[in-house]
Amino acid sequence: MRHGGVTKFSFQNLFGPIIIISALTFFVGRTSASLQLITQFTLCYFMMVLALQVFVGNSGVLSFGHGSFALIGSYISGMLTAPINIKGHALAMNQLWQALVPLHTNIYLALLISAIVSALFAALTGSLLMRLSGLSAGIATFALLGVTYNVFFNNKRIGPGSQALPAVPTISNTYILLLLAVLAIIIVYLFNISHTGRTLRATREDAMAAPALGINIYKVRLIAFTLSGFLAGLSGGMYVHVAGTFQVQDYYLEFTFLTLSMLIVGGSASLWGALLGTIVISAIGQLLLMMEQDLPIFGIHVHIPLGSRAVIIAVAFVAMLLWRSSGIVNGKEFAIPAFWRK
C-alpha cells in the first residue's frame, strides 16, 4: 500500500484509463444484453473503488465505512425517484413516514443530491473519525457501517427496512454511467496531483515526519474522506438506478469486501490500479460464471462444476495478494509500454 502516486500532470496518466474504460464499455456493452447489464454494474463498482482509492489509497487508512455512504446515496436517490404511489401503497412501505411520500424529483437531480448528502455525512462523521489512525480507524469506520446498516435495516419509518423498495427508475443508457465514471476519473486524478493529495500521501509514507513538515494530518484526511464520501454516495445512487430496486443488504459486508478487494488487487496507490483491479475482478467473475453455465467463451466451452466459481474467485484473490501484495500495478499510473513508444 505504501509508495507510489503521481505528482505531476501527465496526459497519458489521465487519458490512458479514460480511453480504456470507454473502449471496454463500448465493446463489451454491445455484445449482449446481459453483458451490458454487467458493464453497468461494473461501472457502479468502479465508482466505489475510485472513492476508496481517494481515501484508502492516498491516506493508507483502511476504511470499512464507505458502504454506509453508498447506502445513503442509494437510499436518497431511490426514494427521490420511486413513483409516489409505490411509496404510498407498496406493502414494503406501509409504515413509511408520510412526509417522505410526496418528495420526488428526476434521476439526475436525485443523483446530485445523493452525492452531496453523502459528502456531508462523510464530513460530519469524518470530523470525529479522522482523529484516529491505524487499526482503531479501521474498526471505527466498521462501527459506522454497522450503525448505518442496523438503523436502515430495522427502521421502517424512513425506508423499506429489510425489504426492497421496488420500481426505482433505471438508467438504460450505459454511456451516461460511463460519462459519470470519466468525470470521476478526472476529479480523482486532479485531486491526486493537487497539493492536498500530495500532502495526504506524505502522511501515508511517514506519520511522524509529515506533521514535522507542518502538515495537518487531520485536515488533509478529512478533505479526502469528504470527497471520497461524495463519490461513494454517487456510486450508490448509480447502483440503485441500475438495479432498479433499493435494498439495504446490497451495501453491507459483501459489497464492502468486494470493492476493497478490487482496490487492493489492482494496487491501491494509483488510479490505474483502481481501474485495473475492478476490471480484473469483474472479468474473472464473469468468465467463471459463463464457464459454470457452460456458455461459450470466444467459441470455446470450458465447463466447471456449479458452485466452484465462488471458491475460485476467493482463491484467485488470495493468490494475487501472495504474488504481489501491493497490487498488480504496484503503485504506478498508466503508461504506454516502452516498446510501443519506440
Contacting other proteins (CB under 8 A), which of 300, 322, 336, 338? 322
Residue from 252, 222, 271 nearest 52 by CA: 271
198 binds other proteins (CB under 8 A): no
Which residue, 143 or 335, is less far from other proteins as judged by CB? 143
Which cell numbers in the block locate residue 21? 474504460
139 binds other proteins (CB under 8 A): yes
Q: Which stretch binds other proteins (CB under 8 A): 6-14, 233-241, 280-288, 321-329?
A: 321-329
The answer to whether 92 and 159 are in contact (CB under 8 A) is: no
Contacting other proteins (CB under 8 A), which of 120, 132, 176, 328? 132
The answer to whether 165 and 93 are in contact (CB under 8 A) is: yes
Residue from 295, 289, 291 nearest 303 by CA: 291
Which cell numbers in the block locate residue 282? 469483474
Contacting other proteins (CB under 8 A), which of 4, 16, 29, 60? 60
Cα–Cα distance, 64 to 229 (Å, whole number): 12
304 binds other proteins (CB under 8 A): no
Contacting other proteins (CB under 8 A), which of 38, 79, 144, 232? 144
150 binds other proteins (CB under 8 A): yes
The answer to whether 270 and 216 are in contact (CB under 8 A) is: no
Contacting other proteins (CB under 8 A), which of 88, 138, 169, 244? 138
DSSP letter, residue 165: B
Contacting other proteins (CB under 8 A), which of 35, 88, 100, 146? 146
325 binds other proteins (CB under 8 A): yes
Of residues 242-281, those binding other proteins (CB under 8 A): 257, 260-261, 264
296 binds other proteins (CB under 8 A): no
Cα–Cα distance, 262 to 45 (Å, whole number): 9
Distances (CA, A) of 62 to 56, 158, 236: 5, 30, 20
Cα–Cα distance, 23 to 10 (Å, whole number): 20
Which residues are near other proteins by CB under 8 A? 1-2, 59-62, 128-129, 131-140, 142-144, 146-147, 150-151, 154, 203-204, 206-208, 257, 260-261, 264, 307-308, 310-311, 314-315, 317-318, 321-322, 325-326
